[in-house]
Amino acid sequence: MEDQPNFVSHVFNFEKDSRNEMANIIQYTLIGIILISLLNRGIEEYMPEPEETKGTAPLLMEIAVQCIVLFIGILFIHRIITYIPTLSGIKYMDQNVITVILPALIVLLSTNSLGRKVNILLDRFTKNDPPVKIKHTQPLNSSTTNLLPTRSSTSNPITQEPDFNPMFSSPTAPAVNPPSMDPMPSNFGGFGNNMF
């Protein structure tokens, strides 16, 4: 029965095979950065920017072409990188490029211009009410009545002081009762309160 390695020796394994695998990862990554940057630059250069005014069919076509070019480009880049001899002298482990497509799509569709195009389409498909178009049935001209009053001058429109005397001299004028001068009951406090 084999001895199972402990956690530290399993994770931090720096034997020759492990070092060769790490060297291959570093080489693959560095070459991949250069080639993927060139591929992205080419896609940005030749693919149109996302525009909300475009129709659904052209946007779908742009998304499909952009994804196909990207993943075919990844396949060729993988072949170029694996053709270059490794510095470790050990061949790269066998990889299936197709398994990279779904994680790459997750990243691509959440960022950059491809993601913005997909978001435009999703917004169109998830909106329930159609866009409102305003149609002018009557041309706006000078014969149309204004809703706001126009003022001819900026001076104060009140030129006289208002006269309030007729308001109080009419028979229907409100009765004004003078305030009561009766003493306060003793239960309301004050001098007559028994509590003091």
What confidence score (pLDDT) does residue 85 get? 92
Q: What gap in Å lies between CA 147 and CA 135, rounded to an integer? A: 20
Domain borders along the chain are 11-126
Q: How would DSSP label each residue in 143-181?
A: TSPPSSPP-S--S-S--S----HHHHHSTTPPP-PPPP-
Lowest mean pLDDT among 59-63, 121-125, 140-144, 182-186: 140-144
pLDDT at residue 49 greater than cutoff 70 = yes
Lowest mean pLDDT among 23-37, 120-134, 177-191: 177-191
Task: Give Cβ neighbours of residue 89 (< 8 Å, ≥ 6 apart).
Answer: 20
What confidence score (pLDDT) does residue 127 get? 77
Q: What contacts 24+ positions apart, CB below 8 Å, involve 95-103?
A: 100/74, 101/71
pLDDT at residue 75 greater than cutoff 80 = yes
Give the mean pLDDT of the chain: 74
What confidence score (pLDDT) does residue 76 get? 92
Q: What gap in Å lies between CA 65 and CA 80, rounded to an integer? A: 22
pLDDT at residue 107 greater than cutoff 80 = no
Q: What gap in Å lies between CA 19 and CA 24, rounded to an integer? A: 9
pLDDT at residue 44 greater than cutoff 90 = no
pLDDT category, 83, cuts 50, 70, 90?
very high
pLDDT at residue 60 greater than cutoff 70 = yes
Q: What is the mean pLDDT of residues 45-57?
A: 83
Half-sphere exposure of 41 (CA within 13 A, CB side): 6
**Bigger pLDDT: 121 or 85?**
85
Other beta carbons within 10 angstroms of residue 68's beta carbon come to 10
Task: Give Cβ neighbours of residue 193 (< 8 Å, ≥ 6 apart).
Answer: 186, 187
